[in-house]
């Protein structure tokens, strides 16, 4: 399906609205890059190009919601840029009208008034989170039944992604590719983290949160938690790996009684991270290394 304006309006807009409503229920946002990935990988759209092109269907979905309820919260505020975690320039007119702040609707407002933009964007997000009538409004506006985001439903049943990594608690077993990479990383600390000294490495380390870390390097003055994703991982597995690293880092830091303990996390993959995932990892402070399937190249 080509990303024409017609298809973006008639096909993409209702889908994005549904994804944003699911995000609202989970108190999170959806990045332009994530929405583009879903449209291309799950809904059959050909290459959209720039993720910010989705500002068009984001505006259209808001217009449809306004037709059903002129007081609707700004659902499009949950479609955000990866770098700022705030909506892009296209929401300016909606913010201006919703809050009566004319300067937000003028060209360049996102750069000229960054504090104001952040303040009212976050206010809009909060209104979206607090609103409890999304399912009914969606069905009245788009004349179709609301169905929760498929990815979110899979996440709850533990079937998202393609890689079997055996977490948590051996869920679905561990795939051979994941196991091979996990054991190799555990045994090759000098290649993965050459700057660490006095490393003792362990695998499948249990945390008090109930999580299990693929590999942990215990070094002089530093602890490094490592999540691995083999070549059988898809985009959603890689995204999940980044958030797993965030969790491991926080939990292991909380478990360590030393005030000056240095605890960090690393994602090791066999495939590249695309631009969206690289930006996410950077924003969350998670380092990444790529290991070639033959183990000859580490980047």
Residue pLDDT, tens place only, 149-160: 765 444 444 445
Q: Do 43 and 15 contact (CB within 8 A), yes or no?
A: yes
Q: Both 178 and 140 in a single domain?
A: no
- pLDDT single digits (tens) 268-292: 999 999 888 998 999 999 999 999 9
Percentage of the residues of the chain whose pLDDT score is greater than 90: 76
Q: How confident is the model over 253-263, as a mean pLDDT?
A: 85
Q: Both 62 and 42 in a single domain?
A: yes
- pLDDT single digits (tens) 217-247: 999 879 999 999 999 999 889 999 999 999 9
Q: Both 48 and 148 in a single domain?
A: yes
Q: Both 19 and 85 in a single domain?
A: yes
Q: What pLDDT score was predicted for residue 105?
A: 96
Q: Both 260 and 193 in a single domain?
A: yes
Kindly tell me if the per-residue pLDDT of 260 is higher than 70: yes
Residue 297 belongs to a domain: no
- Last residue within a domain, chosen from 155, 187, 208: 155
- Last residue within a domain, chosen from 155, 184, 216: 155
Domain count, the chain: 2
Q: What pLDDT score was predicted for residue 51?
A: 80
CATH classification of the domain holding 189 = 3.40.1350.10
Q: Both 28 and 120 in a single domain?
A: yes
Q: Both 174 and 98 in a single domain?
A: no
This prediction's pTM: 0.72
What residue numbers bound the domain in which 255 lies? 161-290
DSSP for 185-250? HHH-HHHH-TT--S-EEEEEEE-TTS-EEEEEEEETTEEEEEEEE-TT--HHHHHHHHHHHHHHHH
Q: What pLDDT score was predicted for residue 159?
A: 44
Q: What pLDDT score was predicted for residue 274?
A: 87
Round to whole Å and give the CA distance between 234 and 239. Answer: 9
Q: Both 128 and 206 in a single domain?
A: no
Residue 291 has what DSSP assignment? B
Beta bridge partners of 228: 268
Task: Please give the mean pLDDT across all residues of the chain.
Answer: 90
């Amino acid at each position: 399906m080509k990303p024409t304006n017609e298809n973006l309006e008639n096909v993409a807009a209702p889908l994005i609205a549904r994804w944003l409503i699911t995000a609202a229920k989970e108190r999170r946002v959806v990045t332009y890059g994530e929405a583009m990935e879903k449209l291309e990988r799950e809904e059959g759209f050909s290459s959209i190009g720039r993720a910010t092109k989705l500002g068009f269907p984001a505006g259209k979905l808001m217009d449809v919601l306004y037709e059903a309820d002129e007081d609707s919260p700004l659902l499009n505020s949950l479609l955000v840029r990866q770098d700022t975690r705030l909506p892009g320039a296209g929401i300016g007119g909606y913010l201006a009208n919703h809050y009566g702040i004319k300067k937000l609707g003028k060209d360049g407002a996102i750069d000229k008034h960054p504090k104001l933009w952040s303040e009212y964007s976050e206010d809009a997000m909060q209104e979206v989170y607090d609103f409890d009538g999304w399912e009914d409004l969606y069905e009245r506006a788009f004349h179709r039944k609301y169905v929760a985001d498929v990815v979110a439903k899979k996440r709850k049943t533990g079937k998202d992604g393609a890689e079997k990594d055996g977490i948590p608690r051996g869920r679905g077993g561990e795939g051979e590719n994941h196991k091979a990479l996990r054991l190799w990383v555990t045994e090759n600390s000098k290649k993965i983290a050459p700057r660490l000294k006095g490393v003792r490495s362990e695998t499948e380390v249990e945390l008090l949160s109930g999580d299990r870390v693929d590999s942990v390097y215990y070094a002089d003055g530093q602890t490094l938690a490592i999540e691995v994703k083999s070549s059988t991982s898809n985009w959603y597995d890689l995204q999940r790996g980044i958030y797993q690293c965030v969790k491991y880092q926080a939990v292991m830091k909380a478990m360590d009684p030393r005030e000056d303990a240095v605890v960090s996390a690393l994602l090791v993959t066999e495939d590249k991270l695309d631009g969206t995932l690289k930006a996410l990892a950077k924003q969350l402070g998670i380092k990444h290394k790529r290991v070639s399937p033959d183990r000859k190249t580490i980047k």
